Amino acid sequence: MVGSLHELRPKGGGDSEKITINLGYVDLGHIDLLVQDGFYSNRTDFIRTAIRNQIERHAEAAKQSVARRSLDLGLRHYTREDLEAVRASGRMLDIRVLGLASIAADVSPDLARAAIASVSVLGALQASPAVKAALADRTR
């Protein structure tokens, strides 16, 4: 099997991506009120909970979309050895991940181009800047 696949659970800290959102003052005030009243520990806790509730609300539709698009769900890591094996077999990978796709730091741009036909990641792609640049025309 090429790459390892792991189910991801929502976590904070190093296993997350930072995003920025703009909220109106009234919405922000409502969040602060709920935090002050002890419903949530802080603004981030409220926002994460709201996002998880919406994901859960649309879980069946998301599950069908993942299957329809043939996406790997969770964490998919590609090592240099994985990509060398793909290149040696004469085929190329179509990386399709919902979650986190990572390409090992020791993968060269030439190896990435020789082994990876396309990259489609809903979430985050971790790879060296050189590998990302080499795959830019193959990334959707």
pLDDT band per the 50, 70, 90 thresholds, residue 69: confident
Q: Are 2 and 93 in contact (CB under 8 A)?
A: yes
Q: Which residues contact 79 (CB under 8 A, 6 or more apart)?
A: 3, 104, 107
Q: Which pLDDT does position 60 carry in this prediction?
A: 95
- Please state, in angstroms and rounded to a whole number, the distance separating the CA atoms of residues 35 and 42: 6
Q: Residue 129 has which token pair?
A: 């800047």
Alpha-carbon distance 44 to 108, whole Å?
Answer: 38
pLDDT higher at 62 or 7: 62
CA–CA distance, 32 with 40 (Å, rounded to integer): 9
In the chain, where the domains are located: 22-57, 62-138
Containing H/E element for 35? helix 25-36
Position 37: which residue type? D
| Cβ-contact 130, 109 below 8 angstroms | yes
Q: Can you give the pLDDT at residue 2? A: 55
Q: Rounded to an integer, what distance in angstroms lies between the CA atom of residue 2 and that of residue 83?
A: 8
